[in-house]
Chains A and B, each alone.
Chain A
Protein backbone atom coordinates (compact mmCIF):
# COMPACT_ATOMS: atom_id res chain seq x y z
CA UNK A 1 0.00 0.00 0.00
CA UNK A 2 1.28 3.44 -0.79
CA UNK A 3 0.50 6.52 1.23
CA UNK A 4 1.62 8.81 -1.57
CA UNK A 5 -1.89 10.14 -2.05
CA UNK A 6 -2.89 10.41 1.56
CA UNK A 7 -3.11 13.99 2.72
CA UNK A 8 -0.96 15.35 5.50
CA UNK A 9 -2.64 16.40 8.74
CA UNK A 10 -1.45 18.68 11.51
CA UNK A 11 -2.14 17.37 14.99
CA UNK A 12 -3.04 19.45 18.03
CA UNK A 13 -3.26 17.92 21.49
CA UNK A 14 -4.72 19.35 24.68
CA UNK A 15 -2.74 17.97 27.56
CA UNK A 16 -5.33 18.71 30.21
CA UNK A 17 -8.56 20.50 30.93
CA UNK A 18 -8.22 24.28 30.76
CA UNK A 19 -5.13 24.40 28.59
CA UNK A 20 -5.26 25.09 24.89
CA UNK A 21 -4.54 22.60 22.13
CA UNK A 22 -0.89 22.65 21.13
CA UNK A 23 0.62 21.63 17.83
CA UNK A 24 2.56 18.39 18.34
CA UNK A 25 3.36 17.22 14.83
CA UNK A 26 1.85 15.87 11.67
CA UNK A 27 0.89 12.56 10.11
CA UNK A 28 -0.67 11.02 7.04
CA UNK A 29 -4.23 9.71 6.92
CA UNK A 30 -6.91 9.06 4.32
CA UNK A 31 -9.60 11.02 6.12
CA UNK A 32 -10.27 13.04 9.27
CA UNK A 33 -11.48 10.04 11.28
CA UNK A 34 -8.34 8.08 10.48
CA UNK A 35 -6.25 11.13 11.28
CA UNK A 36 -7.74 11.38 14.77
CA UNK A 37 -7.15 7.68 15.37
CA UNK A 38 -3.62 7.80 14.07
CA UNK A 39 -2.97 10.84 16.23
CA UNK A 40 -4.32 8.93 19.21
CA UNK A 41 -1.94 6.07 18.49
CA UNK A 42 1.09 8.11 17.58
CA UNK A 43 0.86 11.10 19.90
CA UNK A 44 -1.08 10.07 23.02
CA UNK A 45 0.35 6.65 23.84
CA UNK A 46 2.23 8.06 26.81
CA UNK A 47 -0.80 9.89 28.22
CA UNK A 48 0.07 13.16 26.54
CA UNK A 49 -3.48 14.32 26.06
CA UNK A 50 -7.22 14.24 26.55
CA UNK A 51 -8.36 15.91 23.35
CA UNK A 52 -7.19 15.88 19.74
CA UNK A 53 -7.70 18.26 16.85
CA UNK A 54 -6.56 17.50 13.35
CA UNK A 55 -6.41 19.97 10.48
CA UNK A 56 -5.43 19.17 6.96
CA UNK A 57 -2.07 20.77 6.36
CA UNK A 58 -3.38 22.14 3.06
CA UNK A 59 -5.91 24.19 4.99
CA UNK A 60 -3.29 25.94 7.06
CA UNK A 61 -2.49 29.27 5.51
CA UNK A 62 0.89 30.42 6.70
CA UNK A 63 2.78 33.68 6.65
CA UNK A 64 5.48 33.98 4.06
CA UNK A 65 8.98 33.52 5.55
CA UNK A 66 10.43 35.91 2.97
CA UNK A 67 8.31 38.68 4.43
CA UNK A 68 9.65 38.12 7.92
CA UNK A 69 11.59 41.38 7.99
CA UNK A 70 8.55 43.50 7.22
CA UNK A 71 6.17 41.45 9.36
CA UNK A 72 8.11 40.85 12.56
CA UNK A 73 11.16 43.04 12.76
CA UNK A 74 9.26 46.30 13.27
CA UNK A 75 8.02 44.94 16.60
CA UNK A 76 11.54 44.38 17.88
CA UNK A 77 12.14 48.10 18.41
CA UNK A 78 8.87 48.69 20.27
CA UNK A 79 9.81 47.57 23.74
CA UNK A 80 7.10 49.81 25.20
CA UNK A 81 4.56 47.24 24.02
CA UNK A 82 5.76 44.92 26.75
CA UNK A 83 4.12 45.85 30.04
CA UNK A 84 7.43 45.83 31.87
CA UNK A 85 7.42 49.48 32.94
CA UNK A 86 4.83 49.01 35.65
CA UNK A 87 5.56 48.25 39.25
CA UNK A 88 3.53 45.26 40.24
CA UNK A 89 2.08 45.89 43.70
CA UNK A 90 3.05 43.41 46.41
CA UNK A 91 0.54 40.67 46.93
CA UNK A 92 -0.36 40.29 43.26
CA UNK A 93 0.52 36.79 42.27
CA UNK A 94 0.54 34.99 38.93
CA UNK A 95 2.01 37.92 37.01
Chain B
Protein backbone atom coordinates (compact mmCIF):
# COMPACT_ATOMS: atom_id res chain seq x y z
CA UNK B 1 0.00 0.00 0.00
CA UNK B 2 0.92 3.65 -0.40
CA UNK B 3 1.52 4.58 3.23
CA UNK B 4 1.67 8.29 2.51
CA UNK B 5 -1.55 8.33 0.55
CA UNK B 6 -3.29 6.41 3.35
CA UNK B 7 -2.01 8.88 5.92
CA UNK B 8 -3.16 11.85 3.84
CA UNK B 9 -6.61 10.36 3.34
CA UNK B 10 -6.93 9.91 7.09
CA UNK B 11 -6.19 13.62 7.54
CA UNK B 12 -8.92 14.58 5.08
CA UNK B 13 -11.36 11.97 6.32
CA UNK B 14 -10.82 12.56 10.03
CA UNK B 15 -11.14 16.35 9.68
CA UNK B 16 -14.51 15.79 8.03
CA UNK B 17 -15.62 13.11 10.45
CA UNK B 18 -14.80 15.03 13.61
CA UNK B 19 -16.13 18.42 12.53
CA UNK B 20 -19.23 16.63 11.22
CA UNK B 21 -19.65 15.01 14.61
CA UNK B 22 -19.23 18.33 16.40
CA UNK B 23 -21.90 19.92 14.19
CA UNK B 24 -24.21 16.97 14.75
CA UNK B 25 -24.07 17.68 18.49
CA UNK B 26 -26.16 20.77 17.72
CA UNK B 27 -29.01 18.67 16.37
CA UNK B 28 -32.07 19.69 18.35
CA UNK B 29 -30.15 22.43 20.16
CA UNK B 30 -29.79 25.03 17.39
CA UNK B 31 -30.49 28.65 18.31
CA UNK B 32 -33.43 28.68 15.91
CA UNK B 33 -35.18 25.95 13.98
CA UNK B 34 -33.80 27.08 10.61
CA UNK B 35 -30.21 27.14 11.83
CA UNK B 36 -30.66 23.81 13.56
CA UNK B 37 -31.53 22.29 10.18
CA UNK B 38 -28.70 24.17 8.47
CA UNK B 39 -26.14 22.80 10.91
CA UNK B 40 -27.54 19.29 10.64
CA UNK B 41 -27.35 19.54 6.84
CA UNK B 42 -23.71 20.58 7.10
CA UNK B 43 -23.01 17.78 9.57
CA UNK B 44 -24.43 15.31 7.06
CA UNK B 45 -22.31 16.81 4.27
CA UNK B 46 -19.21 16.24 6.36
CA UNK B 47 -20.14 12.72 7.45
CA UNK B 48 -20.82 11.97 3.77
CA UNK B 49 -17.40 13.29 2.79
CA UNK B 50 -15.80 11.29 5.58
CA UNK B 51 -17.52 8.15 4.34
CA UNK B 52 -16.24 8.54 0.77
CA UNK B 53 -12.74 9.50 1.85
CA UNK B 54 -12.41 6.73 4.45
CA UNK B 55 -13.80 4.18 1.97
CA UNK B 56 -11.00 5.14 -0.35
CA UNK B 57 -8.50 5.09 2.52
CA UNK B 58 -9.60 1.55 3.38
CA UNK B 59 -9.10 0.53 -0.24
CA UNK B 60 -5.64 2.08 -0.32
CA UNK B 61 -4.71 0.38 2.94
CA UNK B 62 -5.97 -2.95 1.63
CA UNK B 63 -5.87 -4.60 5.04
CA UNK B 64 -9.42 -5.87 5.28
CA UNK B 65 -10.76 -2.79 7.08
CA UNK B 66 -13.68 -0.81 5.71
CA UNK B 67 -14.70 2.83 6.23
CA UNK B 68 -16.71 1.94 9.34
CA UNK B 69 -13.75 0.16 10.89
CA UNK B 70 -11.61 3.23 10.26
CA UNK B 71 -14.21 5.61 11.66
CA UNK B 72 -15.30 3.59 14.66
CA UNK B 73 -12.52 1.23 15.62
CA UNK B 74 -9.30 3.19 15.69
CA UNK B 75 -7.72 4.48 18.87
CA UNK B 76 -7.25 8.13 19.64
CA UNK B 77 -3.62 8.33 18.58
CA UNK B 78 -4.51 6.88 15.19
CA UNK B 79 -6.74 9.82 14.30
CA UNK B 80 -5.17 12.46 12.10
CA UNK B 81 -7.60 15.38 12.33
CA UNK B 82 -6.37 18.84 13.28
CA UNK B 83 -6.97 20.03 16.83
CA UNK B 84 -9.23 22.83 15.57
CA UNK B 85 -12.07 20.51 14.55
CA UNK B 86 -12.20 18.68 17.88
CA UNK B 87 -12.55 21.85 19.96
CA UNK B 88 -15.84 21.94 21.91
CA UNK B 89 -18.86 23.72 20.50
CA UNK B 90 -19.16 25.95 23.60
CA UNK B 91 -21.66 28.44 22.18
CA UNK B 92 -22.94 29.32 18.73
CA UNK B 93 -20.22 31.93 18.18
CA UNK B 94 -17.41 29.47 18.92
CA UNK B 95 -19.03 26.86 16.67
CA UNK B 96 -19.46 29.27 13.76
CA UNK B 97 -16.01 30.81 14.07
CA UNK B 98 -14.46 27.32 14.22
CA UNK B 99 -16.50 26.40 11.17
CA UNK B 100 -15.45 29.51 9.33
CA UNK B 101 -11.73 29.05 10.06
CA UNK B 102 -12.00 25.49 8.80
CA UNK B 103 -14.17 26.19 5.73
CA UNK B 104 -11.81 28.97 4.65
CA UNK B 105 -9.07 26.32 4.60
CA UNK B 106 -11.12 23.54 3.03
CA UNK B 107 -12.31 25.54 0.04
CA UNK B 108 -8.90 26.35 -1.48
CA UNK B 109 -7.70 22.88 -0.51
CA UNK B 110 -10.49 21.17 -2.43
CA UNK B 111 -10.03 23.57 -5.34
CA UNK B 112 -6.42 22.47 -5.58
CA UNK B 113 -7.20 18.79 -5.00
CA UNK B 114 -9.51 18.86 -8.00
CA UNK B 115 -6.33 18.82 -10.08
CA UNK B 116 -4.88 15.82 -8.27
CA UNK B 117 -3.21 13.21 -10.44
CA UNK B 118 -5.15 10.69 -8.34
CA UNK B 119 -8.53 10.49 -10.07
CA UNK B 120 -10.37 9.33 -7.00
CA UNK B 121 -9.14 12.29 -4.95
CA UNK B 122 -9.94 14.70 -7.79
CA UNK B 123 -13.50 13.35 -7.96
CA UNK B 124 -14.01 13.55 -4.20
CA UNK B 125 -12.68 17.13 -4.21
CA UNK B 126 -14.92 18.21 -7.05
CA UNK B 127 -18.04 16.89 -5.36
CA UNK B 128 -17.11 18.17 -1.90
CA UNK B 129 -16.17 21.61 -3.17
CA UNK B 130 -19.78 22.42 -4.01
CA UNK B 131 -20.80 21.67 -0.43
CA UNK B 132 -17.79 23.49 0.97
CA UNK B 133 -18.51 26.70 -0.95
CA UNK B 134 -21.92 26.82 0.68
CA UNK B 135 -20.50 26.04 4.12
CA UNK B 136 -18.01 28.89 3.79
CA UNK B 137 -20.70 31.30 2.66
CA UNK B 138 -22.91 30.30 5.55
CA UNK B 139 -20.21 30.47 8.23
CA UNK B 140 -18.72 33.73 6.84
CA UNK B 141 -22.06 35.45 6.94
CA UNK B 142 -22.65 34.33 10.49
CA UNK B 143 -19.22 35.51 11.61
CA UNK B 144 -19.96 38.91 10.05
CA UNK B 145 -23.39 39.10 11.64
CA UNK B 146 -22.11 38.10 15.05
CA UNK B 147 -19.01 40.29 14.95
CA UNK B 148 -20.81 43.30 13.56
CA UNK B 149 -23.99 42.65 15.52
CA UNK B 150 -24.76 43.54 19.11
CA UNK B 151 -22.23 44.27 21.79
CA UNK B 152 -22.82 40.82 23.26
CA UNK B 153 -22.52 38.94 19.98
CA UNK B 154 -19.35 40.88 19.14
CA UNK B 155 -17.83 39.99 22.47
CA UNK B 156 -18.65 36.32 22.03
CA UNK B 157 -17.32 36.23 18.48
CA UNK B 158 -14.09 37.93 19.55
CA UNK B 159 -13.73 35.45 22.40
CA UNK B 160 -14.16 32.64 19.86
CA UNK B 161 -11.42 34.04 17.60
CA UNK B 162 -9.10 34.57 20.55
CA UNK B 163 -9.69 31.01 21.77
CA UNK B 164 -9.41 29.23 18.44
CA UNK B 165 -6.66 31.22 16.74
CA UNK B 166 -3.89 29.12 18.31
CA UNK B 167 -5.19 26.06 16.43
CA UNK B 168 -5.12 27.61 12.95
CA UNK B 169 -1.41 27.14 12.32
CA UNK B 170 -1.85 23.39 12.28
CA UNK B 171 -4.18 23.53 9.28
CA UNK B 172 -1.05 24.09 7.22
CA UNK B 173 1.03 21.34 8.81
CA UNK B 174 3.24 19.59 6.27
CA UNK B 175 5.75 16.79 6.61
CA UNK B 176 7.33 14.03 4.51
CA UNK B 177 3.86 12.71 3.65
CA UNK B 178 3.07 15.91 1.79
CA UNK B 179 6.50 16.07 0.19
CA UNK B 180 6.16 12.56 -1.20
CA UNK B 181 2.63 13.08 -2.53
CA UNK B 182 3.44 16.53 -3.89
CA UNK B 183 6.25 15.07 -5.96
CA UNK B 184 3.64 12.91 -7.71
CA UNK B 185 1.17 15.82 -8.05
CA UNK B 186 -1.34 13.99 -5.89
CA UNK B 187 -1.66 16.82 -3.37
CA UNK B 188 -0.89 20.54 -3.50
CA UNK B 189 1.54 22.57 -1.45
CA UNK B 190 -0.25 24.23 1.46
CA UNK B 191 1.72 27.46 1.10
CA UNK B 192 -0.55 29.08 -1.55
CA UNK B 193 -3.54 27.62 0.27
CA UNK B 194 -2.46 29.39 3.40
CA UNK B 195 -2.23 32.67 1.47
CA UNK B 196 -5.75 32.20 0.21
CA UNK B 197 -6.96 31.31 3.70
CA UNK B 198 -5.28 34.39 5.12
CA UNK B 199 -6.98 36.56 2.50
CA UNK B 200 -10.45 35.17 3.25
CA UNK B 201 -9.99 35.34 7.00
CA UNK B 202 -8.60 38.88 6.94
CA UNK B 203 -11.44 40.15 4.73
CA UNK B 204 -14.25 38.49 6.68
CA UNK B 205 -12.92 39.39 10.10
CA UNK B 206 -12.41 42.99 9.00
CA UNK B 207 -16.01 43.17 7.83
CA UNK B 208 -17.05 41.55 11.09
CA UNK B 209 -15.09 44.23 13.01
CA UNK B 210 -13.20 41.44 14.76
CA UNK B 211 -9.53 41.64 15.64
CA UNK B 212 -7.05 38.98 14.62
CA UNK B 213 -5.00 38.06 17.68
CA UNK B 214 -1.36 39.00 17.53
CA UNK B 215 0.71 35.97 16.72
CA UNK B 216 1.31 34.13 19.91
CA UNK B 217 1.90 30.55 20.84
CA UNK B 218 0.51 28.01 18.40
CA UNK B 219 -0.75 24.57 19.33
CA UNK B 220 -0.40 21.53 17.12
CA UNK B 221 -0.32 17.76 17.38
CA UNK B 222 -3.47 16.41 15.79
CA UNK B 223 -1.81 15.59 12.47
CA UNK B 224 0.63 13.34 14.28
CA UNK B 225 -1.98 11.78 16.55
CA UNK B 226 -1.37 13.89 19.64
CA UNK B 227 -4.81 15.18 20.42
CA UNK B 228 -6.43 17.34 23.06
CA UNK B 229 -8.51 15.56 25.69
CA UNK B 230 -11.60 16.56 23.69
CA UNK B 231 -11.09 13.83 21.12
CA UNK B 232 -11.32 11.16 23.81
CA UNK B 233 -14.81 12.31 24.74
CA UNK B 234 -15.84 12.50 21.09
CA UNK B 235 -14.61 8.97 20.41
CA UNK B 236 -16.28 7.63 23.54
CA UNK B 237 -19.60 8.78 22.14
CA UNK B 238 -18.84 8.04 18.49
CA UNK B 239 -17.51 4.54 19.11
CA UNK B 240 -19.68 3.41 21.98
CA UNK B 241 -22.05 1.28 19.90
CA UNK B 242 -19.38 -0.52 17.92
CA UNK B 243 -17.28 -1.11 21.03
CA UNK B 244 -20.18 -2.36 23.12
CA UNK B 245 -21.82 -4.37 20.33
CA UNK B 246 -19.09 -5.27 17.82
CA UNK B 247 -20.35 -5.52 14.25
CA UNK B 248 -23.72 -4.08 15.17
CA UNK B 249 -25.79 -2.81 12.24
CA UNK B 250 -29.08 -0.92 12.08
Contacts and interface: CB of A to CB of B under 8 A. Distances in A.
Contacts, number: 33
Interface stretch (A13-21, A23-31, A56-64, A75-83): A23-31
A34 B145 CA distance: 10
Contacts of B138: 37
A27 B33 CA distance: 9
A33 interface: yes
B37 A34 contact: no
Interface in A64-90: none
A41 B38 contact: yes
A6 B134 CA distance: 23
B132 to A, nearest CB: 15
A6 B34 CA distance: 12
A34 B134 CA distance: 13
B140 to A, nearest CB: 11
Given A30-B145, A34-B141, A37-B141, A42 B34 contact: yes
30 contacts: A1-B31, A1-B32, A1-B92, A3-B31, A3-B32, A6-B32, A27-B33, A27-B34, A28-B34, A29-B34, A30-B145, A33-B141, A34-B141, A34-B145, A37-B38, A37-B138, A37-B141, A38-B34, A38-B35, A38-B38, A40-B134, A41-B34, A41-B37, A41-B38, A41-B41, A42-B33, A42-B34, A42-B37, A45-B37, A45-B41
